[in-house]
Structure 1
Amino acid sequence: MSDTFDITETLDVKGASCPMPVVKTKSAVDGLDEGEILEVLATDPGSMSDIDGWAAGTDGVDLLDQVEDGDEFKHYIRKTT
């Protein structure tokens, strides 16, 4: 998947459970410039719905894709403003 997106930064939150993947994702996105893409690597299955819900309710971010890869969940988020 990383071949599809020009990833600016990768955030590894493997082993963290709710709400930490979302909390750390928000913090990492805040540090990005407009148009940059964050890849989030998680092992919490709940991160799929949690990050989706956070992105849907947050101005300035665009959830590009989510991928389940075995026991790892990958999220791709672009900062839009």
Structure 2
Amino acid sequence: MPMTLDVRGKFCPIPVMETAKAIAQVNVGDTIEVLATDPAADPDIKAWAKRMGHEVVSSEKLPDGTLRIVVKRLK
């Protein structure tokens, strides 16, 4: 069961900062699901993941407008 991080209603840089904290709580190879409403969260989290050596497995916009970003911890 992937860990879910709900940062809906929070704005840059909170979603990225919370994602960085949460990734440390899962094992290498596991994923976290980030739920966000800030449009900047998608490019911000992708850039952060690339810089930190993690992988964005998927990124989608749900029908209610929520962004669902799945990040895999690689190291």
Which ranges of 4 or more aligned residues in structure 1 deviate by more than 2 Å?
Answer: none
| Structure 2 match to 1:73 | 67
Give matches, 1:30-45, under 5 Å.
Answer: 30-45=24-39
Structure 2 portions without partners, runs of 5+? none
More divergent stretch after superposition (43-52 vs 17-26): 43-52
Alpha-carbon deviation of 1:8? 2.0
TM-score normalised over the length of structure 2: 0.92
The alignment partner of 2:52 has SS state of coil
The aligned amino acid for 1:43 is T
What is the Cα-based RMSD across aligned positions, in Å?
1.0
Structure 1 portions without partners, runs of 5+? 1-6
More divergent stretch after superposition (66-75 vs 39-48): 66-75
The aligned length equals 74
| Structure 2 match to 1:19 | 13
Identity %: 31
The alignment partner of 1:74 has SS state of strand
TM-score normalised over the length of structure 1: 0.85
Work out the CA distance in 2 between the residues paired with 1:9 and 1:58.
19
1:54 to 44, 48, 66: 48
